A and B are shown apart, each in its own frame.
Chain A
Amino acid sequence: MSSAREAPMNWSGGVAPLGMSWQKLMMWIFIVTDGLLFAGFLASYGFARTGARSWPNQQEVFHLWFISLMTFVLISSSATMATAVAAARVADWKKVGNMVLATVGGGVSFLAMQAYEWGGLIRDGVTLGSNPWNVPAFGNFFFLITGFHGTHVLIGAIVLATLATRVRAGKTTAAGVELAGLYWHFVDLVWVFVFTLFYLI
């Protein structure tokens, strides 16, 4: 028995019912899975934190002005990336190339600052096994979460650097720039959660 109601036009096959190409849909689904990976880490951190007798005071452990600066850099790189995507849509390829390079610069700066922060904390005695406040979970989750986030930033920077060379060679489309942009904004989005939940709360 065929369905009594005619299916609405955009779900009848032969079209993209969610209004996006399969490439963009796939990127969004990937972003959700990667986001859930970080959600797993953050939920575990929440579990450990609620179960911990004490927790180091972030105001004292971190230089929050420095972390805020890192956040500023990453948010700015997201803005340059969004500008690149908008420029690609009007085929202003020179602007695209410049903005993508600016984004890469932002990403690399973020990583350098993260490495500097890590160095400082390690010098203060924070390792994977112990720290001066006797709360091993603090160091565990700090290095795990910021490490994984940093790895994602690094991968994004490499992808964007490659994209920049392809823009220069005239081999990209607006869709490709947008896909890379989605990944980069996702990395920024994760940082919003990590910054709040690990550094501030």
Chain B
Amino acid sequence: MQHQATAETVVHEKQSFLRRYVFSTDHKTIGIQYYLTGGLMGVLGAFLAGLIRLQLTWPTTQWNFLAKIFPSGMEGGFMKPEFYISLVTMHGTIMIFFFVSLVLVSGFGNYLIPLQVGARDMAFPFLNMLSYWTIVPAILIAAASFFVEGGAAGSGWTAYPPLSAVPSAAPGSGLGQTLWLLAVALFIVSFTMGGLNYVTTVVNLRAKGMSMMRMPLTVWSLLIASIIGLLAFPALTAAAIMLLFDRHLGTSFYLPAGLFIAGKLLPNEGGSPLLWQHLFWFLGHPEVYVLILPALGITFDVLVPFARRPAFGYRMTVYCLMAIAFLSMVVWGHHMFVSGMNPLVGEFFSIGTLLITIPSTIIGVNMIASLWGGKLRLTSAALFAIGTISFFGMGGFGGLFLGNAAADIQLHDTAFVVGHFHFMIGGVTMLAIFSGSYYWFPKMFGRKLSELLGKLHFWMTIVPFYGIFATMHFYGLAGAPRRYYNLSQYAFLEGVRWMPMVITVFAFTMMAGQILFLVNLARSLWNGEKAESNPWESTTLEWSALSPPPHGNWGEKEPVVYRGAYEYGNPDAKEDFVPQTVPT
């Protein structure tokens, strides 16, 4: 450990291309690697979503060109049910672990934390590099799982046994499921390495004067998200190990007696699928907060400079983030209300879930109040950040119904749930990714993005998104179940037959809109207008570094911090903002 380049020693020797761009230990390079890798996986996840929409809208159409790409899954041009469920599984897995987590937590987190706390790099840069290079095999394994015998895993991203525990149960329960478990295990290792770095860097490596209550909310949210991730992931590790044992070593952790699968009575006895559900959701629920808390933090960091006034209720927001994080760790049972659990335990989970609404609402109100009376600059970044507030509120409404154990009995496993969580971990997080991208692109690459394309991108995202997922709430209220490959065969859905079509039209519109973002990125990276250090006139520390910052971030002298993160609209100030590095 003594010989590694740590945050205390800045390495200035000339490095080979491999060391500088591929196996870099610089947090900025690693952040960009994560961002681009995650972005690529987001495109793959969106492609899978497109396939899902095709099947749900036109289940009886023959798709000959798809049969060429997926000869076994789309044999004869018709989607097999097992292929559909593997699409649903991999869409969820890829989007949650390999898109949102990678871009938001690993990408922005790695890039921003050292810069925003005034450090030269993360506490343990070598470990940081390892964390990225652990994700790469995870992704390759997940992608490869599509092409093995039986296809990709087919038990949902939730991987419930017995379907996931018995390799002969279905095509997607074979090698594809094992590869899924390996990919997720590698993800957990990578996340843990990153989380260790984040927490130690924020606690130990802040610059002089950067007290905890002067940190930007992005850093607070990433710190808190890392902590709950570190505490919650081991349960899934334990669960996954036991699942691998059940699959390959003949144990019965999750398998009860009397299972008849593929015509054979299994010899297992003594296990229970409920154990997996508990362990999985013990991680699964905090996991979604690991995704959304950084989105909320980034939203504040973007809203405030474009409102030219201080964040409203900064301290309260910090406490609310902590409250949400703690509560999120004790409410996992709300995913299991229909499992036949003891009603008293169900009530405990229900009350806890509904309690989370309180700090969440406070945060939402603080966001709106942070705009109140401000001199709004409605740039693309600002528009996406305002959109985040809207999605957060809408998602929260659905959550109120689902958190109520009695109502959930009706709504569980319907499209209502799908609509709810897409608003949260698809909407809030995605908009935060975009607002963060438009905001920090000049810092990361030293160039500006086109505002016109950005605004078009915004409208082509937010309007269709509502069209897709608000409709889905009503589709679910009408009783449409999730994860079914062909809903056209049920008479009770006759009255809402038009909904999947509407959803699909909006979905393809939204996907087309994302091309604007990709074009914008490519054009600006190629020959975009150069950006100065602080194009948005922001106060936080990263804007006092060059665009992009050099290796070691700060040049000769590390920054000293004299004030809080959001001093905008200060009447005593020369300009309408005072950066954190300006002495009092």
Within 8 Å by CB, do A and B touch in the complex? yes
- Interface on A for B, CB 8 Å cutoff? 1-3, 7, 11-14, 16-18, 21-23, 25-26, 29-30, 32-34, 36-37, 39-41, 44, 47-48, 51-52, 127-129, 135-137, 140, 144, 148, 173, 176
Known pairs A3-B564, A36-B234, A37-B235. 18 more at Cβ < 8 A? A7-B212, A12-B208, A13-B117, A13-B118, A14-B206, A16-B204, A23-B1, A36-B235, A37-B238, A39-B234, A40-B238, A48-B270, A52-B270, A129-B250, A135-B270, A136-B269, A144-B241, A173-B2
| Chain B residues with CB below 8 A from A48, complex form | 253, 270-272, 275
**Residue of A whose beta carbon sits closest to that of B580:** A2
Assembly CA distance A36 to B283 (angstroms):
12
Assembly CA distance A30 to B127 (angstroms):
13
Is B251 a contact of A129 with CB atoms below 8 Å?
A: yes
Q: How many A-B residue pairs have CB under 8 A?
A: 149
Interface window among B23-31, B58-66, B194-202, B507-515: B194-202
Is A37 a contact of B567 with CB atoms below 8 Å?
A: no
Assembly CA distance A75 to B197 (angstroms):
31
Assembly CA distance A17 to B223 (angstroms):
15
Residue with the greatest number of chain A CB neighbours at <10 A, chosen from B195, B197, B237, B562? B237
Q: Looking at the complex, which one of B200, B237, B282 makes contact with A37 (CB distance below 8 Å)?
A: B237
Is A47 a contact of B561 with CB atoms below 8 Å?
A: no
By secondary structure, the B interface counts as loop
| Chain B residues with CB below 8 A from A128, complex form | 245, 249-251
- Interface on B for A, CB 8 Å cutoff? 1-2, 7, 117-118, 123-124, 192, 195-197, 199-201, 203-214, 230-231, 233-235, 237-239, 241-242, 245, 249-253, 267-272, 275, 278-279, 282, 310, 561-564, 566-567, 570, 584
| Chain B residues with CB below 8 A from A30, complex form | 192, 196
Is B250 a contact of A40 with CB atoms below 8 Å?
A: no
A-B contact pairs, 7 of them (CB 8 A): A22-B205, A26-B197, A137-B252, A137-B270, A140-B252, A140-B271, A148-B241
Is B124 a contact of A7 with CB atoms below 8 Å?
A: no
Is B267 a contact of A40 with CB atoms below 8 Å?
A: no
| Chain A residues with CB below 8 A from B204, complex form | 16-18, 21-22, 25
B221 to chain A, nearest CB (A): 18
Is A11 a contact of B230 with CB atoms below 8 Å?
A: no
| Chain A residues with CB below 8 A from B268, complex form | 129, 136
| Chain B residues with CB below 8 A from A136, complex form | 251-252, 268-271
Q: Looking at the complex, which one of A22, A32, A39 makes contact with B200 (CB distance below 8 Å)?
A: A22
Is B123 a contact of A26 with CB atoms below 8 Å?
A: yes
| Chain A residues with CB below 8 A from B562, complex form | 2
B206 to chain A, nearest CB (A): 4
| Chain A residues with CB below 8 A from B245, complex form | 128, 140, 144
B329 to chain A, nearest CB (A): 11
A38 to chain B, nearest CB (A): 8
> Nearest 10 A-B pairs (CB), nearest first?
A7-B211, A40-B238, A14-B208, A13-B206, A13-B210, A36-B234, A37-B234, A2-B563, A22-B123, A129-B250
| Chain A residues with CB below 8 A from B211, complex form | 3, 7, 11-13
Is A140 a contact of B251 with CB atoms below 8 Å?
A: yes
**Residue of A whose beta carbon sits closest to that of B315:** A3
| Chain A residues with CB below 8 A from B203, complex form | 16-18, 22, 25
A151 to chain B, nearest CB (A): 11
A167 to chain B, nearest CB (A): 14
Is B275 a contact of A47 with CB atoms below 8 Å?
A: yes
B366 to chain A, nearest CB (A): 14
Is B230 a contact of A33 with CB atoms below 8 Å?
A: yes
A18 to chain B, nearest CB (A): 6
Assembly CA distance A29 to B195 (angstroms):
9
Is A51 a contact of B272 with CB atoms below 8 Å?
A: yes
Is B196 a contact of A29 with CB atoms below 8 Å?
A: yes
**Residue of A whose beta carbon sits closest to that of B192:** A33
B273 to chain A, nearest CB (A): 12
Given A22-B204, A41-B238, A140-B251, the answer on whether A1 and B310 have CB atoms closer than 8 Å is yes
A54 to chain B, nearest CB (A): 11
Is B275 a contact of A44 with CB atoms below 8 Å?
A: yes
Q: Looking at the complex, which one of B195, B242, B269 makes contact with A44 (CB distance below 8 Å)?
A: B242
| Chain A residues with CB below 8 A from B570, complex form | 1
Assembly CA distance A170 to B564 (angstroms):
46
| Chain A residues with CB below 8 A from B209, complex form | 12-14
Assembly CA distance A48 to B274 (angstroms):
11
| Chain B residues with CB below 8 A from A176, complex form | 1-2
Is B234 a contact of A1 with CB atoms below 8 Å?
A: no
| Chain A residues with CB below 8 A from B278, complex form | 47
| Chain A residues with CB below 8 A from B197, complex form | 26
Assembly CA distance A190 to B406 (angstroms):
40
Given A22-B124, A23-B1, A176-B1, the answer on whether A44 and B238 have CB atoms closer than 8 Å is yes
**Residue of A whose beta carbon sits closest to that of B205:** A22
Is A2 a contact of B564 with CB atoms below 8 Å?
A: yes
| Chain A residues with CB below 8 A from B235, complex form | 36-37, 39-40
B50 to chain A, nearest CB (A): 37
Is B123 a contact of A1 with CB atoms below 8 Å?
A: no
| Chain B residues with CB below 8 A from A173, complex form | 2
A10 to chain B, nearest CB (A): 10
| Chain B residues with CB below 8 A from A140, complex form | 245, 251-253, 270-271
Assembly CA distance A23 to B196 (angstroms):
10
**Residue of B whose beta carbon sits closest to that of A35:** B234
B202 to chain A, nearest CB (A): 10
| Chain B residues with CB below 8 A from A21, complex form | 204
Assembly CA distance A1 to B214 (angstroms):
10
Assembly CA distance A176 to B195 (angstroms):
22
